Structure 1
Amino acid sequence: CWNRTLGSCFRSANGTEAYRSDAAASPWFSTVFGLIGLSSNLFAFCVLVNSSRKMHSRSRSSFLVFLCGLVATDFMGLLLTFSIVVPYHFTRFDWRLVDPGCHLCNFMGLVMVFFGLCPLLLGATMAGERFLGINRPFSRSTKMTKRRAWTLVGLVWAGGFVLGLLPVFGLGDYTLQYPNSWCFLTLLHDSRNVVFCLIFALLGLFCVGLSFLLNTVSVVTLCRVYHDSESVQRRRDSEVEMMVQLLGIMVIASVCWLPLLILIAQTALQAPRGDLPLNQIPRDTEIQLLIYLRVATWNQILDPWVYILFRRAVLRRIYPSFKTRPSIVSLYPVLNPSLRRKFTQESVLQ
């Protein structure tokens, strides 16, 4: 009778499992982890807002908008996630009593999916913006405004939110995960959960791969420019600064998220074990999922430090010759003088 009153987020193994007082369930670990992440993102957001007010370059200001969106996403993701995880570790509440209808669990699962995918989607969007800015500077010089940049950020958020709502509308389930402190997508082998797991994992892998491809082309272009003897004096270090930051974001996202995404994809594609009930997951898979989720969460903590540490103000202290130079649009001498004067004037006004 009791089981019939419980929602779909409870599986037989994790719904009644006793609390484990090990490192995986340590309240102090989660608390310190969350405070470090929240303070890092808050500090980075303040630095970004201050830099944005002083910025007059359109390309740089639009890039700062994407960074602000990324930092805001990481901050809210940590805040909402740890506002559930930390109280659980301190109070050890029973999910069956607190949330028998799975409303809180579904909310947390949506938060985990939304704030997990959005940084990857924003990273790919930033890589595309920088690709166009470096390889097609004239085609975008009058198009990418702050408003359009915020519109792109809003579209990314909307896409992530729609994807997170899929289990609410029946495609997959959000279930309680080991050690009963968080909810996430379900690695069961029924068709609905397999489809949702593959959508999540493949979309994340696609974003990482697209970011790698676009950033590689952009870096090659900048390297070619820097080694061009005719234009070596015309380069602009702000493009390099943005690419260094973007590469840092890409590397961190790849290292933090690839293990989890690969695990989800592999588990969804593998045949289920015959010695387990259909509604249970192997314990080693549950432990791996927890470990890789912890690794993925570091992405939200390390992202803000990419901008904090790799700003020109910091880089100049390490590399004193890192000084501002004219825009990369001057690297294209094929333009006639009137057009070059026009774009130079626009760059100054921006």
Structure 2
Amino acid sequence: MCSWEMDKSLLCSAGKSDSCNASSVLQLSNCFRSINISEMSKMTLASPWFSTIFALIGLSSNLFAFCVLISAYKKTHSRSRSSFLIFLCGLVVTDFMGLLVTGSIVVSYHFTQFNWTDVDPNCHLCNFMGLSMVFYGQCPLFLGATMAAERFFGINRPFSRSSRASKRRAWCIVGMVWGFAFILGLLPILGLGKYTVQYPKSWCFLTLLHDRKNIAFGMIFALLGICSVGISFILNTISVITLCRVYHDRESVQRRRDSEVEMMVQLVGIMIIASACWLPLLIFIAQTLLQEPPKSLAGSAIPRETENLLLIYLRVATWNQILDPWVYILFRRAVLKRLYPSLKSRPSIMSLYPTMNPSLQRKYTQESVIR
């Protein structure tokens, strides 16, 4: 018998009939399922100090990165760079809030070992944490793909891109990404799948049960994340190839663009970290849902090996929120110049077209706006 079922039996034996009616059982069954775990295993897997130190390192790293970005944002005069820094600020804020919200619940559980059925009998806290896990998990991937698209057009179509670049537009795009991720996180609460307490009972996430709704939501979550990483890889690869071609062009060797190099180095770093941290979890979720479930298990049970792997891959994915800010901290222009002294201040990517005089550039920009 699982822990919440034992608690239920004790309440019934004590004469508390209100907790034994059908509606209460239905409420408990929404986000609670059979999870058998010994006290020794719980102490091994749920160390309060590890989670606390992990969360504090991530929060301080993102806070420091946010200060660095704000400082750079105040000094920049380039519209394209300002937009890129806004996207980075949105990513840092997302990572910081993700660690703060989910970390608070996990650390509280590790220190208090609270019983979910007592604290959250109606599954409100579990649904909130599940939504937060999906929202703060997918936002960095969506923002990474958005920044890759922004840099793709900024490098390959600089004149049309520069005429449309604005701070307000960048913030609107960040808001749209947040809104889309929030709607995605709402789907299980609206009935497509469900969030359940996960092994070792310290967190809530989407359910890897093999029914239609849970499979549908799990596959949507996994495929959207994989597609975001794939789009980032394709667009960043094209942008890097274009930048390298111009960078090593003999005719434009004196027109090296340190600002574009800095942004692309940061963007490639973000993509590599997101791929290494999130792809194992996303692929594992898709693979698990597409496989036939073991016939020996009950309908609400998940194999222990699957639960262990899900926990491991989730912990790997959370490293993305800690490593992301160090990309902005370490790969700034000042640091890159120390590593590569010949990287000096040069004109922007507009020098891709060295023969185009300023009047033609303005004409090209006006035509792009009219179109």
Distance 2:182 2:69 in 1: 25
Highest Rg: 1 or 2? 2
**2:291 alignment counterpart:** 270
Query: Which SS does the other structure have where 1:112 is aligned?
Result: helix
Counterpart amino acid of residue 51 in structure 1: A
Three-state SS of the structure 2 residue aligned to 1:187 is coil
What secondary structure sits across from 2:252 in the alignment?
coil
Alignment partners' CA distance in 2, 1:197 and 1:19:
31
Q: Quote the Cα distance in structure 2 between the aligned partners of 1:175 and 1:337.
A: 60
Percent identical residues: 72
Q: CA deviation at 1:252?
A: 0.1
| Aligned positions of 1:281-292 closer than 5 A | 281-292=302-313
Q: Secondary structure at the match of 2:347?
A: coil
Q: Aligned residue for 1:217?
A: 238
Quick one: which amino acid aligns to residue 313 of structure 2? Answer: Y
What do residues 217-240 of structure 1 show as CA deviations (whole Å, max 9, x unaligned)?
000001110111111112211101
Could you tell me which amino acid in structure 2 is paired with residue 330 of structure 1? S
Distance change in 2, residues 1:37/1:260 (3 Å):
same
CA distance in 1, matches of 2:362, 2:232: 33
Partner Cα distance (1:269, 1:212) in 2: 25
Instruction: Give the whole-Å Cα distance in 2 for the aligned partners of 1:241 and 1:307.
Output: 10
1:234-245 aligned at under 5 Å gives the runs: 234-245=255-266
1:85 counterpart residue number: 106
TM-score (norm 1): 0.95
**Residue type matched to 2:34 in 1?**
S
SS at match of 2:197: strand
Give yes or no for the alignment of 1:13 onto 2:40: no
1:33-44, aligned counterparts within 5 Å? 33-44=54-65
- Name 1:45's counterpart in structure 2: 66
Q: Distance in 2 between matches of 1:62 and 1:334?
A: 27
Give how far 1:22 is off.
3.8
Deviation string 1:89-112 (CA, Å, 9 cap, x unpaired) is 000000010001100000000000
CA distance in 2, matches of 1:340, 1:326: 15
Is the 2:159–2:361 Cα contact (8 Å) retained in structure 1? no
d(CA) in 2 for partners of 1:182, 1:132: 40
Aligned partners of 1:334, 1:261: CA distance in 2, in Å? Answer: 47
Tell me by how many angstroms 1:314 deviates: 1.1
1:6 is matched by which residue type in structure 2? L
Is residue 192 from structure 1 mapped to residue 213 from structure 2 by the alignment?
yes
User: Does 2:280 match 1:259?
Assistant: yes
Structure 2 Cα separation of the partners of residues 56 and 47 of structure 1: 16
1:1-350 paired onto structure 2 within 5 Å: 1=20, 3-13=25-35, 20-333=41-354, 335-336=356-357, 338-340=359-361
Aligned residue number for residue 348 of structure 1: none
CA distance in 2, matches of 1:232, 1:204: 38
Please state how far the C-alpha of 1:12 moved relative to its aligned partner: 2.2
Check conservation: 1:134, 1:218, Cα contact below 8 A. Answer: yes
Question: In structure 1, how many angstroms separate the alpha carbons of the residues matched to 2:317 and 2:295?
Answer: 30
Cα RMSD (Å): 1.7
Instruction: Deviation per CA, 1:114-169: give whole Å up to 9, x if none.
Output: 00000000000000000000001011111111110010000000000000000010
Are the equivalent residues in 1 in contact too, given 2:297–2:303 (CA < 8 A)? yes
Q: CA deviation at 1:326?
A: 0.5
**Structure 2: how far apart are the matches of 1:4 and 1:293?**
29
- The answer for unaligned runs of 5 or more in structure 2 is 1-19, 366-371
1:58-106 C-alpha deviation (Å, 9 max, x unpaired): 1111000000000000000000001100010000000010001100000
Q: State whether residues 186 and 197 of structure 1, in contact with CA within 8 Å, keep that contact through their aligned partners in structure 2.
A: yes
User: What code does the residue aligned with 1:141 have?
Assistant: S
Size of the alignment, in residue pairs?
A: 343
Deviation at 1:338, TM superposition (A): 2.3
Aligned twin of 2:3: none
The unaligned stretches of length 5 or more in structure 1 are 345-350
